[in-house]
Amino acid sequence: MFLGDKSPLRLALNAASPFGPLLPGAHISTYSSNDPKSWPVVMEALDFEAPGPSLLTDQTERIGASIALKLFLGLTDCHHENMHHGERDSLLYFCSMDWETVLCELSHPHESGLFRMKRKCACPGNYCQSYGLKKFSGVINPAQVIAGHMSMMKALGSQLGPLNDLLKTELRQRLFHRRLVLRDTLEYGRALQTKDWTDYLPEEIAQLERGEIPYFFHVYGQSEMLYWKAPDSMAVVNASPPNWYRSPMDQFSVPAQLFHDGLLAIARSLDPATPVANFSFGKFRVSYRPNLVLVDAPAGRFFEKRFT
């Protein structure tokens, strides 16, 4: 189990968190079997109770820490239907129920699906409404979420060496089947309804013609992108992947751009009722306004970004 109950990597990630465990028992099944039918078994146990009335307020920083962990792990497909929160052992958890896209090389936090962003989709207006943080918009204080995000990113950065050693060990010990998302499931659903497959890859069309949602994957450590040529056989994708294809992650990192843009994405997505929020984290002071995020350090302005 890549992040199962007894996974050394899961235990190390939980130990690195300044806020207590953030992975309550994720189950990502990986098999050494060569039988393709035994590979795509991916689920997470989410036997949570509904959070108590004060838990969201008292443990808001755990939401930010959970966001940081998902970006660190390169998890995508974090739309609101996949994201769940609840209480276990008096702790607030914010977890994904779909981990089959973990270890993606993210160039921007928006690629996770957690954050509000402009995009062409079926949602009314210019912004997609299916982002993972939608349930918290206007409900929790973004300053506290940003504090948790910054603290967790710092903690993970301090443990990069040991965590990367564990990752390499895990991936050497078993075949890890990882899904490669070329398009959103909703987009495939619309294509199945309209039968308009313009600009789709031949390998996508072959699966759409069978009435299936196209599914692509690879075995970690191998370069070939695979697909289900038939329900019981797989083949290598011959076409070049689209420009929105996300490469697999080679190792864990905490890139500055991903860290900074994470602050902005959190602020933009949560849209608090209060016009200004300020807090201090170590040597940093963070100021959030509806169109501006400022981070100041003793030596001067550390980060500033505006948005519309």
The pLDDT of residue 94: 92
Residues 59 and 108 in one domain: yes
pLDDT, tens digit, for every residue of 202-213?
999 999 999 999
Is 113 a member of any domain? yes
Residues 258 and 217 in one domain: no
Beta-carbon contacts of 35 under 8 Å, excluding residues fewer than 6 positions away, are: none
> Which long-range contacts link 284-291 to residues 24+ away (Cβ below 8 Å)?
284/150, 286/143, 286/146, 286/147, 286/150, 288/142, 288/143, 288/146
The pLDDT of residue 121: 58
Is 112 a member of any domain? yes
Return the percentage of the chain with pLDDT > 70, whole number. 79
Residues 222 and 79 in one domain: no
d(CA 183, CA 107): 17
The pLDDT of residue 63: 94
> What one-character DSSP code corresponds to residue 127?
B
Residues 67 and 119 in one domain: yes
pLDDT, tens digit, for every residue of 142-195?
888 888 998 899 899 999 999 999 998 887 777 777 788 888 777 898 899 999
Residues 159 and 81 in one domain: yes
pLDDT, tens digit, for every residue of 78-97?
888 888 888 888 899 998 87
Residues 117 and 227 in one domain: no
Residues 52 and 13 in one domain: yes
Res. 215: pLDDT tops 70: yes
pTM: 0.79
Range of the domain at 127: 8-171+251-275
Is 37 a member of any domain? yes
Count: domains in the chain:
2
Yes or no: say if 65 and 18 are a contact pair by the CB < 8 Å rule.
yes
The pLDDT of residue 282: 67
Yes or no: say if 241 and 232 are a contact pair by the CB < 8 Å rule.
no
Is 298 a member of any domain? no
What's the angle, vertex CA 26, arms to CA 20 and CA 27, rounded to 5? Answer: 160
Burial of 219 (0-12, 13-18, 19+ CB in 10 A): middle
Residues 54 and 88 in one domain: yes
What's the angle, vertex CA 130, arms to CA 264 and CA 176, rounded to 5? Answer: 85
